Amino acid sequence: MDEKYFQEIFFQKVWPKLTGIENIPNINDVQGNPEKIAGRLWESLAPALDAYITKYNLPVTKDARQTDDEYFSALVAKMYQLNERVAGHGGWENVWPKTAIEIGATNCALGSQVLGRALQKAGYEVEFGMPGPESHAVALAKKSDGRKVYLDQANGVMVDIAGEQSVHGVKAYRIETDNKNIPFRLIPVCSLEKSTAATVWNLASLRKSAASPREGRFHTQALKLMDRFGLDWKIPYGDWAKRTILPEWKGLLRRPEWKKEQEESTARIRATNPSI
């Protein structure tokens, strides 16, 4: 039932409403291949990211006089400033290209995809990270000297990667910093193409908000978007995204290393923001 829904309804009718682009991905002939499915979805999503980049004039070329760090910093700052313009707006419109381009702001997941796409166009190798784990999203870029950097446009910060390791088959980067806006220390990463899993599984969060009147304006906004996008209340969007696009992350939060990272990063966040 789920596979039929995604093949015949979701990508035909819902996906274009999320992206604002009539570029429907065909994944029917690549079932069972997460890399190819992610690649098809990214090819379909990229024009929507390009539209955001063009409308809001994000720099996709490094000036010859700029260092990598200077270019990264300028790009992150531009996106952070765009978000700050509507900081009081809040809500769900900044999660998907169609609505984000209307308000001129992106959340962490979409923003990292836009950032990653801009960096790709500038010639950099880029990965997608979900620190927390899976509670936030960032982009990771490779500098011309081979070093890698953590780029968080949602908080306007960046820091060099301290090291790399594999945690139960999941690639991860370590960071060491005193910056209070970077509470994470171990970042699970995937390809930029596989970031499309977040595009789909965020619909599960939207539906949860729509089902909870206690969330006030977020609930009202979520209800409107559920209707606007034509979402199905019964479809497990999150389960499908993980199973189909990021199967290697299945059970990630049950692993002791990731549970420890989640507990420690949450404690750092609460120490900085006691109301959370």
The 10s digit of each residue's pLDDT in 92-138 is 999 999 999 999 999 999 999 999 999 999 999 999 999 999 999 99
Q: What is the pLDDT of residue 249?
A: 93
Q: Decide: 122 and 106 in contact? Cβ < 8 Å.
A: no
Distance (Å, rounded) from C-alpha 25 to C-alpha 27? 6
Q: What are 204-227's pLDDT values in tens digits?
A: 999 999 999 888 888 999 999 999
Give the residue from 79, 98, 76, 100 showing the smallest Cα distance to 89.
100
State both tokens at 1.
């039932």
Position 217 scores a pLDDT of 84
Q: Are 252 and 170 in contact (CB under 8 A)?
A: yes
What tokens were used for 96? 């998907």
Other Cβ atoms within 10 Å of 194 Cβ, number: 23
pLDDT for the residue numbered 88: 64
Rounded distance, CA 111 to CA 15, Å? 18
Would you kindly state where each structural domain of the chain is located, as residue ranges?
A: 2-272
Please name the residues in contact with 65: beta carbons below 8 A apart, sequence gap of 6 or more.
none
pLDDT at 30: 94
3-class state of residue 267 by DSSP: helix
Tell me what pLDDT residue 198 has.
Answer: 97
Instruction: Please report the pLDDT score of residue 273 as a whole number.
Output: 79
Measured at the CA of 162, the angle between CA 161 and CA 164, to 5 degrees, comes to 85
Residue that has been written with the tokens 């707006």 in this structure: 89
Cα-Cα-Cα-Cα dihedral sign, residues 68, 45, 96, 200:
negative
Per-residue pLDDT reduced to its tens digit, 28-69: 999 999 999 999 999 999 999 999 999 999 999 999 999 999
The C-alpha atoms of residue 125 and residue 127 are separated, in whole angstroms, by 7
Between 4 and 52, the more confident residue is 52
pLDDT per residue as tens digits for the range 134-168: 999 999 999 999 999 999 999 999 999 999 999 98
> What's the token pair of residue 6?
């995604």
